[in-house]
Structure 1
Amino acid sequence: MLHRKSPLSRRAFTVTALSALMASGSALTAGTAAAGGTDRDRRHAAREMRGMWLATVANRDWPSKTGLSARQQRAELLTHLDTAVERRLNTVVFQVRPTADALWPSPHEPWSQVLTGTQGRDPGWDPLDTAVTEAHKRGLHLHAWFNPYRIANHGDLGRLVAAHPARQNPDWVVPYGGRLYYNPGLPEVRAFVQKAMLDAVERYAVDGVHFDDYFYPYPVAGQSFDDDAYDTYGGAFPVRAAWRRDNIDRLIREMAAGIKRIRPTAQFGVSPFGVWRNAATDSRGSDTRAGVQTYDDLHADTRTWVREGWIDYICPQLYWNIGLAAADYAELVPWWAAVAKGSRTRLYLGEALYKAGDPAQPAAWQDPAELSRHLTLAKKHPEVRGHVFFAAKDVAVDRIGAVDRVVVDHYRQPVPPPV
């Protein structure tokens, strides 16, 4: 739904008109020229990602609560897709495996409890099938978002449905920080999670496969991640951290190969925490002072994945405002642009729309123009190929009109999804 004070007209783009435009590059060029755009603007827009995350974990965005009827769930899902069209977005990143479960009839994992309130209970319809079909009807791309290793946001294995693979294989499970995770250091775990995720890639015409920032879990003070598999499998690595990074590197390379084998047209992307390493730790790092460094704390060497071309796109979560001392958006954009330059990996930027208008956030996030300034800054770097907004509920509500401002300033014409 558009913001009540939106300057945009609901008549702007019907589903039919947008679908036709997505199939017509000439319509895009003509529309941009009519709007007075430059040649560079046209080239930039023609390949631009305009995405939103649609989060299902803990019913963050969808469904609005557990236990809705299939009809109600479907209606809510279609409303989110319609909102993406109204906001002139072109891609929806739909979380279909939030906690080692599934939003499709998986032969490997149980139905997600976010649908019915009970893990393993059939909701009576197939959300992923509907999402793909209805997104495509609207000219949108649908990227299936998976969380590889997170099992549960609680620490009780007995709360999982009896047939859950984690209960059937408790030696695969590591409790940590009050949650449950699969152990990334076990080859059988890596094989299983890929099989579970690739089932959806094989069965549905998804346009992309998406991982976010959860690999090894974020550090919890005073606790250690008990992955004693290092004693068995880590002999080639002098330190545990290097072995852990190799485990995640293997997941990325193997998943990329599996996607290309099954569905060659599907993109494979990752949206990591926005700081690879601080310059104080590594001279190749960014001029930041972030408390978390992806390379060291999550054991995800995202810079290497880009430079080696193991993934089709990277979308770092740059969830900070311009001018923030510890992690300045204006510092991180050129850093990531330099990393992506000359590689085959596209660079998109993850945007913290959820912070706009949140009174708990710094003053910069109370300004409706903050996000628009992000896009203006990013346009100075040709390596930046678009933006993804977190998340769908915030796109719809648009508390202070930040999305309206982005659309007016940057999204005057719809554009096709990147291919």
Structure 2
Amino acid sequence: MAHIGRRALLAGAAGVIAAASGAPAFAAPQTADPHSGRGAGTPEFRGMWIASVSNVDWPSRSGLSAATQRKELSGLLDTAVRRRLNAVVLQVRPTADALWPSPFEPWSQWLTGKQGVDPGWDPLGTAVAEAHARGLELHAWFNPYRVANHADLDRLVPEHPARRRGWTVEYGGKLYYNPGVPEVRRFVQEAMLDAVTRYPLDAVHWDDYFYPYPVAGEYFDDDDAYDAYGAAFRSRAAWRRNNTDTLVREMSQRLRALRPAVRFGISPFGIWRNSDRDPAGSKTRGLAAYDDLYADTRRWVREGWIDYVVPQVYWHIGHAAADYAALVPWWARTVAGTRTELYVGEALYRCDAASPTPAWRDPAELSRHVRLARGYPEVRGHVYFSAKQVAADPNGAMARVVADHYGSAVPPR
């Protein structure tokens, strides 16, 4: 996710700006029309991301005992309740692997330290049950295309599906599934939908990694796939955007057919397009999802393919090139009149007394974000990155948000 492995970009380039078939294991909740949009009286969404990749949040390190992993997870869920949140977004497929017994991909290395090794328990199943017992929603966070934070196929377990010929691209020292291969798109959907068939998830959640963030001097070599499938498109960029659109649209359709009550949300990079490239864009200057990541995030909202969007608006109020106070209104206008709810992704990880940016040293900065966003009725909540900072709260910013805005009770969703 942009939060993970992209901090250098946020501090650098972005600092300058910025299914599987099968019998269900549970009875699906019955709702009149879960995809018609929630009413204005629905309590705001208050969430936090729990990142498992590289042991960012949980488990605190790989190789811990099953009992210790469960204890740490329970502690984070208790933290969410203590901070008066009502949802957690748990990363369960960080690198083409799984935090549940998946028939499609191996057990995650971030659990045991070795890919493919059974940790001796079911983290996702436990997380769903424990979250619901505390009145928390559990949104299962999947990364569609990232295979490994290294570029060596031989380091993957022998049975890993990424070893199939033509399925991966090496880029920036990492491995990615190739979004231009139709079989890949179908496979990653199957892998993710397996979790939907097994558990009473509240939502499927994707982060901002589709095509990878640009790396200077590197070429994303999808020539063979473009030659095979791109002839009908006016440019490679248009073909790549269509590949991403197709993944989102198909997943939306399949999820709604499989589990209508399970919502579909995406947390994209905070800038769709800059207004100097497109008058419909935001008054910002910098990397843009549409032009640089081949992700037409505005279209997904307008087409109604997603139930909610959580743009990562990871800049402070008054940022010269990517002002929080400019981006939140832009996103509010974008979702207005659509069926897609808007929650704002908040950079709690930047809030630190040691930050080089004065705004992020101020414990009141994040509280000002919530106050500003509440001036726009389209904003229905916030999600904080990440759980470790929600718990530790280095400069008191999270405590200030709770004191200023979250009252004395957690609203049920």
TM-score by length of 1: 0.88
Contact 2:145 2:210 in 1 (8 A): yes
- 1:79-158, aligned counterparts within 5 Å? 79-158=75-154
Amino acid at match of 1:248: T
1:403 is matched with which residue? Answer: 398
Change in CA separation of 1:70 and 1:355 when aligned onto 2, cut-off 3 Å: same
Q: Tell me, yes or no, if structure 1 residue 189 matches structure 2 residue 184.
A: yes
Contact 2:353 2:362 in 1 (8 A): no
Larger Rg: 1
Amino acid at match of 2:177: Y
The alignment partner of 1:333 has SS state of helix
Task: Supply the distance in 1 between the matched residues of 2:126 and 2:140 (Cα, whole angstroms).
Answer: 12
Task: Supply the distance in 1 between the matched residues of 2:155 and 2:321 (Cα, whole angstroms).
Answer: 39
Task: Supply the distance in 1 between the matched residues of 2:218 and 2:392 (Cα, whole angstroms).
Answer: 38
Contact 1:89 1:414 in 2 (8 A): no
1:206 is matched with which residue? Answer: 201
1:239 is matched with which residue? Answer: 235
2:174 is matched with which residue? Answer: 179
TM-aligned CA deviation for residue 402 of structure 1: 0.6
- Of 331, 350, 355, which residue of structure 1 is paired with 2:350? 355
TM-aligned CA deviation for residue 189 of structure 1: 0.1
Q: Which runs of 5+ in 1 are unaligned?
A: 1-42
The alignment partner of 1:170 has SS state of coil
Amino acid at match of 2:47: G
2:274 is matched with which residue? Answer: 278
Amino acid at match of 1:207: D
Q: Which runs of 5+ in 2 are unaligned?
A: 1-38
1:7 is matched with which residue? Answer: none
Amino acid at match of 1:58: S
2:66 is matched with which residue? Answer: 70
The alignment partner of 1:136 has SS state of helix
- Of 329, 338, 343, which residue of structure 1 is paired with 2:338? 343
Question: Identity percentage over the alignment?
Answer: 67
The alignment partner of 2:166 has SS state of helix
Contact 2:81 2:410 in 1 (8 A): no
Change in CA separation of 1:358 and 1:219 when aligned onto 2, cut-off 3 Å: farther
TM-aligned CA deviation for residue 358 of structure 1: 5.5
Contact 1:256 1:268 in 2 (8 A): yes
Contact 1:141 1:417 in 2 (8 A): no
1:164 is matched with which residue? Answer: 160
The alignment partner of 1:319 has SS state of coil
Contact 1:49 1:417 in 2 (8 A): no
- 1:3-82, aligned counterparts within 5 Å? 46-82=42-78
Task: Supply the distance in 2 between the matched residues of 1:131 and 1:91 (Cα, whole angstroms).
Answer: 12
Q: Tell me, yes or no, if structure 1 residue 262 matches structure 2 residue 258.
A: yes
CA displacement, residues 128-158 of structure 1 (integer Å, 9 cap, x when unaligned)? 0000000000000000000000000011111
The alignment partner of 1:102 has SS state of coil
1:369 is matched with which residue? Answer: 364
Amino acid at match of 2:348: L
Task: Supply the distance in 2 between the matched residues of 1:189 and 1:72 (Cα, whole angstroms).
Answer: 35
Change in CA separation of 1:349 and 1:118 when aligned onto 2, cut-off 3 Å: same
The alignment partner of 2:210 has SS state of coil
TM-aligned CA deviation for residue 220 of structure 1: 0.7
Amino acid at match of 1:178: G
Amino acid at match of 2:390: V
TM-aligned CA deviation for residue 279 of structure 1: 0.5
Task: Supply the distance in 1 between the matched residues of 2:332 and 2:354 (Cα, whole angstroms).
Answer: 31
- Over aligned residue pairs, what C-alpha RMSD do you find? 1.1
2:22 is matched with which residue? Answer: none
TM-aligned CA deviation for residue 46 of structure 1: 3.9
Amino acid at match of 1:355: R
1:230 is matched with which residue? Answer: 226
Change in CA separation of 1:155 and 1:358 when aligned onto 2, cut-off 3 Å: farther
Aligned length, in residue pairs: 374
Task: Supply the distance in 1 between the matched residues of 2:149 and 2:285 (Cα, whole angstroms).
Answer: 28
Amino acid at match of 2:274: N
1:412 is matched with which residue? Answer: 407
Farther off after superposition, 258-267 or 76-85: 258-267
Amino acid at match of 1:223: E
Amino acid at match of 1:202: T
1:24 is matched with which residue? Answer: none
Task: Supply the distance in 2 between the matched residues of 1:44 and 1:394 (Cα, whole angstroms).
Answer: 30
Contact 1:355 1:361 in 2 (8 A): no
Task: Supply the distance in 2 between the matched residues of 1:413 and 1:327 (Cα, whole angstroms).
Answer: 33
TM-aligned CA deviation for residue 413 of structure 1: 3.4
TM-aligned CA deviation for residue 416 of structure 1: 3.6
Task: Supply the distance in 2 between the matched residues of 1:57 and 1:356 (Cα, whole angstroms).
Answer: 21
TM-aligned CA deviation for residue 45 of structure 1: 7.3
TM-aligned CA deviation for residue 223 of structure 1: 1.3
Change in CA separation of 1:71 and 1:45 when aligned onto 2, cut-off 3 Å: farther
Change in CA separation of 1:382 and 1:211 when aligned onto 2, cut-off 3 Å: same
Task: Supply the distance in 1 between the matched residues of 2:269 and 2:277 (Cα, whole angstroms).
Answer: 17
- Of 302, 308, 316, which residue of structure 2 is paired with 1:313? 308
The alignment partner of 1:171 has SS state of coil
TM-aligned CA deviation for residue 170 of structure 1: 3.3
Change in CA separation of 1:293 and 1:62 when aligned onto 2, cut-off 3 Å: same
CA displacement, residues 192-249 of structure 1 (integer Å, 9 cap, x when unaligned)? 0000000001101000000011000001111111112111111110100000000010
TM-aligned CA deviation for residue 415 of structure 1: 3.8
TM-aligned CA deviation for residue 417 of structure 1: 4.9
